[in-house]
Each structure stands twice: as structure tokens, then as C-alpha cells.
């Protein structure tokens, strides 16, 4: 007999809100979303630094089931994306289900009741049948452990915690880091500071951003002409998707992007010494390729200096580098990224038989299809291990995961099983195959990227196309899971089941007919 499954979702970014919207449309209303902040939006709520914007075209960086015809630009700015997520929460009736200012500290599975006990920071406990972690990867700012950092007497903050009350006008500012955020905020603040010193550990590959505002007539057309928005979405999808081959199968194709980079920097940086300093030694593509039309131009300004000598310490009045120079500054801004490989961050998750997720992941996070982890029944992770992209919109990956999880929820809602748990052999086999593919990708080349753990394991990127991932997640294969019958809760898994053979390795490849004829919708 079917029953109403109670579902807890942690996080209200693209993943959490998308999951909740699809669940409500499917008739599941016993939902509770836990949000650590006082608003929805995830990284688009947090990253309010000047110049913040998406580097994926807006028509693709949005839900297929909630298209927005009011984007002002091809690449939407932060405020518009944040408002889009707010509107999604309201439109789909999700907001009443959200518990704001409610950070989750622990989640523990109870075999006897087949439920998750979710403990909040205030000590309260919420119990749910199903736990969906939608915490994302880019939500824990990484501030480097530079000696003397705490002694600095000026203003300092990370780009993700921008202090808008501090006026940078006329100040001497140090920027540490040259990642995606710095590439956006450096051009935005350079004209109004007295001096900007950019401390560059490694140069980034920056190529032109094909951005432009949408004319009023275009926005009207998107709104009034049926199918035009979706046509734009499809065209964008097929413009970006072939690039996946360059990252994963034919790295030589990245020479096209390398030529684009070299033309771009040659046009904007005429000083030979500066251009050499800004040219990466790493192969293009092994780190994130960045988009900007203003970054290199900003670095040629008279009030901007690029320092490549390593930082040795922060002093009370500035930054000292290995060449002995001391750079006095009023403020330090860290554009040093996030703790992306620490998936689920400080959340302490305990599964069956006391298994602790972070201990299971001590050699690098992994999950079957990036979603399910052996030993953790009825736990589903969105934007989990190895589901990131280098060539297209992660929202496509999220929607594929959401569809997959929705099938699992429907299966559990039938009421004849207590839980779903992926077989450890299935997880091991799919991840072994995935890592073999990564070893032949551009990300396996020698470079220090945030895709890798300290030990060198790539736990972030998906080594394939989005349509391939959509095909693999289109149908929940029940044979990949142990299905615990109701009435047998607490009973150990049957040891004579062939799926318990942990030596088994299989790679499930999509059949040609399964390549997602409806993708990206």
C-alpha cells in the first residue's frame, strides 16, 4: 500500500529548489527544506561581489520547466539569477516548506525505523524517510593559510563574503587569487581604487565572453513567440555540447581555445613582460577556462600591478613576497575560490551500521552516478562527486539527477520497501570506470586544479557529455540497489546476493537509442 514519504532537502540553491519543485509537481508535499541563511539562492545569494555574473548563457542556465523570458543579457548578472531562484520558490509554492536560518549539523540513519534523524545547529531534530543533500560545491570560501593573516590591521574579506559597507574608493587594495571571481571583480573595482595589486600564484586562461544585452524587441519576442525561448536554449545547448569532446576524449581540440586565448591576450596586453606573466604554463582546459572581455584590459591600467612572487606573509600593514618586497595596502580581498572537494562540507552523516560518510570518503568522495552511496540508504546527493562540467550548464546535470531521485522517491512511496541502498559493487564499478576515463582527459594532465583532492583524485568533473549522463540517469535501475522489504528492517543484507561481490566492476554505457532525444527540453 502506498504511503506518503516525508522528504528532507538540505539547501535551497538550484539543486534544492529544482528538486522541491519537481516533487511538488509529482504530488509529494511532505517536504522540508533546510536553509542555513535567511534567503534562498545558494551561491547566487552569497556571491554579491561587483561584476558577479554567470559564465553560462542564461537560456541554458535555468530550469527546463521554468524558463525565464526576462533575462536582460545573454549571460545573466548575479542579481537576476538570485531573483529567478526566489521567483521559482514562490511560483512552485516551495517557500512555505523552507526553514530558514537552520543549518544542519548531523544526519543519522536509523535502521529500525528506516528514517533519517536530522539535527540542526539549535539542537532540534527533524525525522524524515528520505534525505536529499543539495548543499552544492561552491559554498565554503577558501581563505589561504598565509602566515600573519590575522595580524592585518586593515579590511580583509573573501569575494563570497563581500563587505559592501567598506568603500574601496581611493584605497590601496591587494587582491589574492586569479580565479573566476577575481576575473569578474577586478575590472569592476580597478577604476575606483587608488592602487590595485594583484597577487597571482598561477595565471588563468581567459577568453572573450560572447555577452550582449537583449534588446527590448528580443525580450518581447521571447515572451510572445511560442517556442522561441526553447529554440534559443536548444541552439545554445548544441553550441556548447560538442566542446565536451575536447575536455574528455580529444584534448588536442583544445588548441582551438588556446589560439583564441592567445589572440585575446595579444590584443589587450601589448607589454611583453606583462603578457608573459599572464600566460599560463598549464595546458589549457586542465583548469577552468575563464570568460571576460575586461580582465586583461584592467591589468594594463596605470594603477594596477601584477605580482607573481609568492606571498610569504601578511603583515599588519600589507603583504610581503618572497623577493623581499613589502606591499602596503588598506584592504585585502581573497579571490581564492572554495573548498569544493570537501563535498557536504562540515555535515556529519552516519549511515547503516555506524558508517561515517567522511570516513568513507577519506580517499576522495565518490557515489554511484554522483548520487547514491553504499551504506547510506535513502540518501541522495545532488551535484555530488564527479557531476561538474567544464563545457556546459550544470543545471542540465542537476535536472537529470532530480529526475533520477524522483523515480527513487516514487519507488519508496509504493510502501513495500523500507529503503533503497546502492550495492557497493555497483558503486565501485561505476567509479572505477569513471576514473579510467578521467585519466585520459585533459584534467589528468599535470596542473594544480581545484578539481582534485590533495592526493590528486579528481572528484569534481564528469568525464563525458551531458546527454550521456541524462541517458544513464533516465531510468532508475532497481537491480543497482538493495531493496529492503518492509517488515525486514534492521536485518542485514542477504550475503548470498551476487551483487555483494565487491570485486565486480561494470561500466554501464548508454545505448545509442538512449541519448536523450528530449534533452535539454
Cα 498 from Cα 193, distance rounded (Å): 66
pTM of the complete model beyond 0.85: yes
N-terminal to C-terminal alpha carbon distance within the chain: 34
The pLDDT value recorded for residue 2 is 54
d(C-alpha 247, C-alpha 255), whole Å: 11
Torsion from C-alpha of 298, 302, 304, 307, nearest 10 degrees: 120
pLDDT value, residue 381: 98
Same fold flag, 7-140+340-488+495-514 and 149-212+220-334: yes
Domain ranges of the chain: 7-140+340-488+495-514, 149-212+220-334
HEC assignment per residue over 292-356: CCCHHHHHCCCCEEEECCCEEEECCCEEEECCCCEEECCEEEECCCECCCCCCCCCEEECHHHCE
3-class DSSP state for residue 208?
coil
- As a CATH number, domain 149-212+220-334 is 3.50.50.60
Annotation: CATH topology of 7-140+340-488+495-514: FAD/NAD(P)-binding domain (3.50.50)
Residues 402 and 197: their CA atoms lie apart, in Å, by 43
> Virtual CA dihedral for 204, 210, 211, 212, nearest 10 degrees?
150
* Tens-binned pLDDT, residue by residue, of the chain (521 aa): 356 899 999 999 999 999 999 999 999 999 999 999 999 999 999 999 999 999 999 999 999 999 999 999 999 999 999 999 999 999 999 999 999 999 999 999 999 999 999 999 999 999 999 999 999 988 899 999 999 999 999 999 999 999 999 999 999 999 999 999 999 999 999 999 999 999 999 999 999 999 999 999 999 999 999 899 999 999 999 999 999 999 998 888 999 999 999 999 999 999 999 999 999 999 999 999 999 999 999 999 999 999 999 999 999 999 999 999 999 999 999 999 999 888 998 999 999 999 999 999 999 999 999 999 999 999 999 999 999 999 999 999 999 999 999 999 999 999 999 999 999 999 999 999 999 999 999 998 888 888 998 888 999 999 999 999 999 999 999 999 999 999 754 443 333 333 333 333 333 323 223 323 333 44
User: What is the spatial distance between Cα 82 and Cα 22, in angstroms, rounded to a whole number?
Assistant: 19
Q: Which of 476, 352, 462 is nearest to 410 (CA)?
A: 476
Amino acid at each position: 500500500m502506498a504511503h506518503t514519504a516525508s522528504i528532507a532537502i538540505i539547501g535551497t540553491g538550484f539543486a534544492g529548489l529544482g528538486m522541491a519543485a519537481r516533487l511538488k509537481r509529482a504530488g509529494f508535499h511532505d517536504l522540508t527544506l533546510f536553509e542555513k541563511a535567511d534567503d534562498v539562492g545558494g551561491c547566487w545569494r552569497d556571491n554579491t561581489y561587483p561584476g558577479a555574473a554567470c559564465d553560462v548563457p542564461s537560456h541554458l542556465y535555468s530550469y527546463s520547466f521554468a524558463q525565464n523570458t526576462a533575462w536582460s543579457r545573454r549571460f545573466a548578472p548575479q542579481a537576476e539569477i538570485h531573483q529567478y531562484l526566489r521567483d521559482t520558490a514562490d511560483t512552485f509554492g516551495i517557500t512555505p516548506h523552507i526553514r530558514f536560518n537552520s543549518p544542519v549539523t548531523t544526519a543519522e540513519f536509523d535502521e529500525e525505523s528506516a528514517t533519517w534523524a536530522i539535527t540542526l545547529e539549535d539542537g532540534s531534530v527533524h525525522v524524515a524517510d528520505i534525505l536529499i543533500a543539495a548543499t552544492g560545491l561552491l559554498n565554503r570560501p577558501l581563505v589561504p593559510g598565509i602566515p600573519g593573516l590575522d595580524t592585518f590591521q586593515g579590511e580583509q574579506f573573501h569575494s563570497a563574503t563581500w563587505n559592501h559597507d567598506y568603500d574601496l574608493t581611493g584605497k590601496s587594495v591587494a587582491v589574492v587569487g586569479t580565479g573566476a571571481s577575481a576575473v569578474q571583480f577586478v575590472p569592476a573595482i580597478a577604476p575606483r581604487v587608488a592602487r590595485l595589486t594583484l597577487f597571482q600564484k598561477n595565471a588563468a586562461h581567459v577568453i572573450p565572453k560572447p555577452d550582449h544585452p537583449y534588446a527590448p524587441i528580443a525580450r518581447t519576442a521571447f515572451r510572445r513567440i511560442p517556442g522561441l525561448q526553447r529554440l534559443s536554449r536548444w541552439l545554445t545547448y548544441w553550441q556548447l555540447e560538442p566542446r565536451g569532446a575536447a575536455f574528455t576524449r580529444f584534448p588536442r581540440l583544445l588548441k582551438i581555445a588556446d589560439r583564441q586565448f592567445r589572440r585575446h591576450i595579444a590584443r589587450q596586453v601589448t607589454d611583453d613582460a606583462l603578457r608573459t606573466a599572464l600566460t599560463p604554463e598549464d595546458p589549457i582546459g586542465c583548469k577552468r577556462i575563464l570568460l571576460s572581455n575586461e580582465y586583461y584590459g584592467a591589468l594594463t591600467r596605470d594603477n594596477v600591478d601584477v605580482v607573481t612572487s609568492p606571498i610569504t606573509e601578511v603583515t599588519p600593514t600589507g603583504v610581503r613576497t618572497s623577493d623581499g618586497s613589502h606591499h602596503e595596502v588598506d584592504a585585502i580581498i581573497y579571490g581564492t575560490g572554495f573548498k569544493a572537494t570537501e563535498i557536504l562540507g562540515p555535515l556529519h552523516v552516519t549511515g547503516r551500521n555506524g558508517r561515517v560518510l567522511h570516513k568513507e570518503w577519506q580517499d576522495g568522495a565518490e557515489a554511484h552516478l554522483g548520487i547514491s552511496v553504499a551504506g547510506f540508504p535513502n540518501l541522495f546527493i545532488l551535484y555530488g562527486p564527479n557531476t561538474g562540467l567544464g563545457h556546459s550548464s550544470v543545471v542540465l546535470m542537476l535536472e537529470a539527477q532530480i529526475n533520477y531521485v524522483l523515480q527513487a522517491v516514487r519507488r519508496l512511496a509504493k510502501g513495500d520497501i523500507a529503503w533503497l541502498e546502492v550495492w557497493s559493487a555497483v558503486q565501485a564499478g561505476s567509479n572505477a570506470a569513471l576514473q579510467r576515463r578521467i585519466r585520459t582527459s585533459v584534467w589528468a594532465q599535470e596542473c594544480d586544479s581545484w578539481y582534485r583532492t590533495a592526493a590528486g583524485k579528481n572528484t569534481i568533473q564528469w568525464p563525458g557529455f551531458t546527454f550521456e549522463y541524462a541517458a544513464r540517469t533516465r531510468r532508475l535501475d532497481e537491480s543497482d540497489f538493495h531493496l529492503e522489504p518492509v517488515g525486514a528492517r534492521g536485518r542485514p543484507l542477504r550475503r548470498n546476493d551476487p551483487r555483494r561481490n565487491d570485486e565486480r566492476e561494470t561500466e554501464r554505457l548508454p545505448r545509442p537509442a538512449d541519448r536523450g532525444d528530449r534533452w535539454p527540453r
